[in-house]
Amino acid sequence: MVVAGGGIGGLAVALALARRNFRVVVLEQAAEFGEIGAGIQLAPNAWHAIDALGVGELVKKEAVFIERLLMMDGVSGETVIDIPLDERLEHEYSPLRHTDRIRCPVTVAWAEKESAEFARQSREFAEKLRAPTHIGNGMNHFEIIETLADARSPLARTALEMIA
Ligand SMILES: Cc1cc2nc3c(=O)[nH]c(=O)nc-3n(C[C@H](O)[C@H](O)[C@H](O)COP(=O)(O)OP(=O)(O)OC[C@H]3O[C@@H](n4cnc5c(N)ncnc54)[C@H](O)[C@@H]3O)c2cc1C
């Protein structure tokens, strides 16, 4: 297979194909790769994709993990958003670390087609809460949520039983 362009998209496709034993040739028009801009910010879901390609650890070795997200007005220099991304914030927003605050009945539901990481976090959350689980067979993240609109669906029945 021939992939035209050795940007992040082309290289990701080439790697995914190669991992499935396809012979891949990447054709890049530029004479050499160089840095453009300051870097690429990767959100948590992008890390799932990089992990799935099997290069997560390699990329992490070169990555800089930021401690703060600061957005400023380019004209006035005024701070628009300032979000610390430190241990304290991670602790504060981690549901797994605050299960003692949960007093209502809980069923932890996820879909069969979630990413392995999402499924792992869901399982760990359920184990910590000792809550029953519900897995939407053959569904993705959005399809399982949509089943709540049908009162006869297994997940909606579970939710209604918890309310009753
Ligand atoms: C300054 C700057 C900062 C950015 N910062 C961020 C950021 O912080 N976070 C983020 O997520 N995104 C950021 N982006 C966007 C991100 O870099 C791009 O979305 C991403 O790199 C696009 O990847 P791509 O593989 O689709 O395309 P490209 O990186 O453009 O790759 C396409 C490649 O194909 C080659 N090519 C084109 N035509 C041919 C041809 N006919 N034959 C052979 N080769 C060909 C090109 O030379 C190029 O190498 C930034 C972009 C810029 C410019």
Do 137 and 114 contact (CB within 8 A), yes or no? no
pTM of the model: 0.65
Atom of ligand 1 nearest to the CA of 33: 49
From the list 80, 72, 139, 76, the residue with the least C-alpha distance to 111 is 139
Give distance in angstroms: CA of 105 to centre of ligand 1.
47
Do 155 and 109 contact (CB within 8 A), yes or no? yes
Say yes or no: CB of residue 27 within 6 Å of ligand 1. yes
Tell me how far apart the alpha carbons of residues 106 and 95 are, in angstroms, rounded to a whole number: 13
Give residue-wise pLDDT tens across range 24-46.
999 999 999 888 777 888 887 78
Give residue-wise pLDDT tens across range 83-129.
888 888 889 888 889 999 999 999 999 999 888 888 999 999 999 99
Give residue-wise pLDDT tens across range 16-27.
999 999 999 999
